[in-house]
Amino acid sequence: MSDKSEQTVVVGMSGGVDSSVAASLLVDAGYRVHGLFMDNWEDEEAYCTAAEDFQDARRVAEELDIPLQRVSFASEYRDRVFSYFLDEYAAGRTPNPDVLCNTEIKFRAFLDYALRLGADWIATGHYARTGMRDGRVRLLKGRDRNKDQTYFLHGIRQEALERVLFPVGGLPKEQVRELAVQAGFHNHDKKDSTGICFIGERAFRSFLSEFLPARPGPILTPEGREIGQHQGALYYTIGQRQGLGIGGVPGASDAPWYVADKDVARNSLIAVQGHDHPLLRHVGLYASELHWLGDPPELPLRCSAKTRYRQADQACQVRACEDGRLEVRFDHSLRAVTPGQYVVFYDGEECLGGGVIDAAIREDDGILAETGT
């Protein structure tokens, strides 16, 4: 490609320190840099901090002397992310909308918009890297293993990878904050965003009940004994401890209770005692809606995988099922593998792709499906 001074990069600027430093590094590298702030949710009660975040992004853009545009992708977000989010919860699964937000908004809608503006590249503040091998761009883990975000990026398209820059992907978080201090950015100590934007500061159950009304029902032991009442089976996830309200069960110890299964059809929860109860341990899973960042690998495949963000890589064997799904068997059992979440595959540093967890396999070969056992 031509000289960097002739290349335009549109940076997704969220108002946070990571995207701010990403923009600064690109300016220092000599690119023509434009900032773009994405509004992905419209809420008349203003639970999101979008207004404050935009002002943070605007101040950084002014300090870098780069233009900043504000664009709404709220319609695309509702159609491509939020509708899926609600459908999955209604089916009794626990979705991860952050993956779809990257796939459909940040690396599709945003990329398409930037290309229409004449951009050569887009950039974000994600902790990930890219590298070339065998004529194809590969998605690689960020250098800071505690911040690596490839789990959330496994669903993006190859053509998007060919157009994206991850300026902070090779840096530890501490250095990113130091660079923000050196640049004089006011947001150098801003806390990292957590959770889902459209929920904001509200309690998750309260938010979800606005779209999926509460249906109280029984909490049962695996033997079928009723030990409490839940507010709606849809609102709970496998392995959850908080919010069960179980206490003083006759004949039971004082150990905490955890959700081991959900039966949405019967509107009931199955609860067990103990963080590592056998019903919370899983040796494998079935996955569908698969996406590979390159050509699909030959199966069976020996690799590693994650079933949740920041989980250590788990050695596993992957094989094809006759119904088109994958069966993944782990070398060691995992706790609370959750239908609706994603399993993401790795070959060392490289993220290979992933899929949606349809069902978890217990140590006794019992299948925990998305709507109950």
The residues annotated as belonging to the active site are: 101, 197
Phi, psi of 181 (to 5 degrees): -65, -45
Tokens matching residue 42: 């419209």
CA separation for the pair 368, 332 (Å, rounded): 17
Instruction: Mention every residue, 6+ apart, whose C-beta is less than 8 A from residue 223.
Output: none
- Cα 302 to Cα 6, 74, 202, 307: the distances in Å are 44, 40, 42, 16
Of 203, 233, 206, 205, the residue nearest 217 (C-alpha)? 233
**Dihedral sign, Cα of residue 291, residue 292, residue 297, residue 302:** negative
Of 296, 316, 294, the residue nearest 305 (C-alpha)? 316
Instruction: Mention every residue, 6+ apart, whose C-beta is less than 8 A from residue 24.
Output: 60, 64, 179, 180, 183, 185
- In the numeric block, the tokens 């979440």 are attached to 341
CA separation for the pair 194, 258 (Å, rounded): 24
- In the numeric block, the tokens 């490289």 are attached to 350
CA separation for the pair 307, 355 (Å, rounded): 10
- Cα 32 to Cα 26, 143, 223, 251: the distances in Å are 8, 26, 65, 69
CA separation for the pair 66, 37 (Å, rounded): 13
Query: 134, 176 in Cβ contact below 8 A?
Result: no
Instruction: Mention every residue, 6+ apart, whose C-beta is less than 8 A from residue 294.
Output: 136, 138, 158, 352, 353
Q: Which residues pair with 70 in a beta bridge?
A: 37
Q: Which residues pair with 230 in a beta bridge?
A: 217
Tokens matching residue 330: 């782990």
Q: What is the dihedral of CA 293, 297, 302, 306, to 10 degrees?
A: 20
